[in-house]
């Protein structure tokens, strides 16, 4: 069975463009207005050794109560249920929106493996503009440009690597190397106290404030 990726996000973030990129097709219709995709749409894709099924969905409002938006939400929930990995697409240019927060809350509750992808990130200085998406509480943010085909390979790897059978990793030694952490924040917010607590040390100043 091929793994299934469901593309989920609010309207107009580029889900259908990403679908076309992942399936190397033009099967999904793309347009510069919200609400174009309204049902779910399946395609097959391949990147290197990875083969997968992708589901494109319409703009998602998890709390929609009536009308077309409720029907669209049901379609998306069905796609999420079928997915091995949910690819949550946000718009790197527009920044975090209230609707992104609603979707993040829904996805955290569902608890499926989820990859947070910031689309339209071409030509952006990664760390700066996409860092606000960390507030969605879904871990790392993967910058991509569906329109320009950037970051697609690593998206597929990050989504599907964890699903590979354990045998394939059997020879790998556990990585016991030291994890390096940096603590950053405004002056006087308690960075040093936090570090001292981690280290179990008495209060003393650590390196300079940022
Ligand atoms: N700059 C830029 N624009 C993009 C990118 N990907 C998609 N777009 C544009 O964003 C708009 C919306 O793209 P769609 O793929 O239709 O978005 P969608 O999320 O499927 O939209 P709905 O189906 O309405 O929910 C289109 O004008 C695309 O050309 C990208 O990587 N960079
Ligand atoms: Mg679409």
Which of 53, 27, 40, 15 has the alpha carbon at shortest distance from 156?
Answer: 53
**CATH code where residue 124 lies:** 3.40.50.300
Asked whether residue 191 falls in the same domain as residue 89, the answer is no
Asked whether residue 194 falls in the same domain as residue 111, the answer is no
**169 CB-side CA count, 13 A:** 9
Containing structural domain, residue 152: 4-168
Asked whether residue 136 falls in the same domain as residue 184, the answer is no
Does a structural domain hold residue 198? yes
Helix count and strand count (H, E) for the chain: 6, 6
Asked whether residue 161 falls in the same domain as residue 186, the answer is no
Does a structural domain hold residue 173? no
pLDDT (tens, 9 = 90+) of the chain, 210 residues, equals 899 999 999 999 999 999 999 999 988 878 777 767 777 899 999 999 999 999 999 999 999 988 888 999 999 999 999 999 999 999 999 999 999 999 999 999 999 999 999 999 998 876 667 899 999 999 999 999 999 999 999 999 999 999 886 655 555 565 666 666 778 887 788 878 877 777 776 555 555 545
Mutate to test the pocket of ligand 1, among 18, 22, 30, 54 (most ligand atoms within 8 A of CB): 30
Does the CB atom of residue 32 touch ligand 1 within 6 A?
yes
Mutate to test the pocket of ligand 1, among 17, 73, 147 (most ligand atoms within 8 A of CB): 17
3-state DSSP assignment of residue 116: strand
Place of tokens 């790998």: 172
Asked whether residue 100 falls in the same domain as residue 187, the answer is no
Last residue of a domain, one of 168, 186, 202: 168
Query: Which ligand 1 atom minimizes the distance to the CA of 58?
Result: 25
Which of 120, 172, 165, 166 has the alpha carbon at shortest distance from 141?
Answer: 120
Buried b (16+ CB within 10 A) or exposed e, 113-148: ebbbbbbbbbeeeeeebbeebeebebeebbbbbbee
Asked whether residue 164 falls in the same domain as residue 199, the answer is no
Does a structural domain hold residue 34? yes
- Say which DSSP state 32 is in: S
Asked whether residue 191 falls in the same domain as residue 155, the answer is no
pTM score: 0.80
Does the CB atom of residue 47 touch ligand 1 within 6 A?
no
Number of domains in the chain: 2
Pairwise CA distance, residues 73 & 181, whole Å: 39
């Amino acid at each position: 069975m091929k793994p299934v990726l469901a593309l989920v996000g609010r309207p107009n973030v580029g889900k259908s463009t990403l679908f076309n990129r992942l399936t190397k097709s033009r099967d999904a219709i793309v347009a510069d207005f919200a609400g174009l995709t309204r049902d779910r749409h399946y395609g097959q894709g391949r990147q290197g050794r990875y083969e997968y099924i992708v589901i494109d969905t319409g703009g998602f409002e998890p709390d929609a109560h009536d009308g077309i938006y409720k029907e669209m939400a049901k379609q998306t929930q069905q796609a999420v249920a079928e997915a091995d990995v949910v690819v949550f697409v946000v718009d790197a240019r527009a920044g975090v929106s209230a609707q992104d927060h609603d979707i993040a809350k829904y996805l955290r509750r569902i608890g499926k493996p989820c990859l947070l992808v910031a689309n339209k990130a071409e030509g952006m200085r990664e760390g700066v503009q996409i860092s606000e998406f960390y507030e969605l509480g879904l871990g790392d943010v993967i910058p991509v440009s569906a329109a320009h085909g950037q970051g697609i390979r690593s998206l597929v790897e990050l989504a599907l690597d964890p699903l590979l059978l354990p045998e394939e990793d059997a020879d790998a030694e556990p990585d016991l190397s030291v994890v390096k952490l940096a603590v950053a924040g405004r002056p006087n917010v308690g960075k040093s106290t936090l570090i001292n607590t981690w280290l179990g040390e008495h209060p003393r100043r650590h390196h300079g404030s940022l």
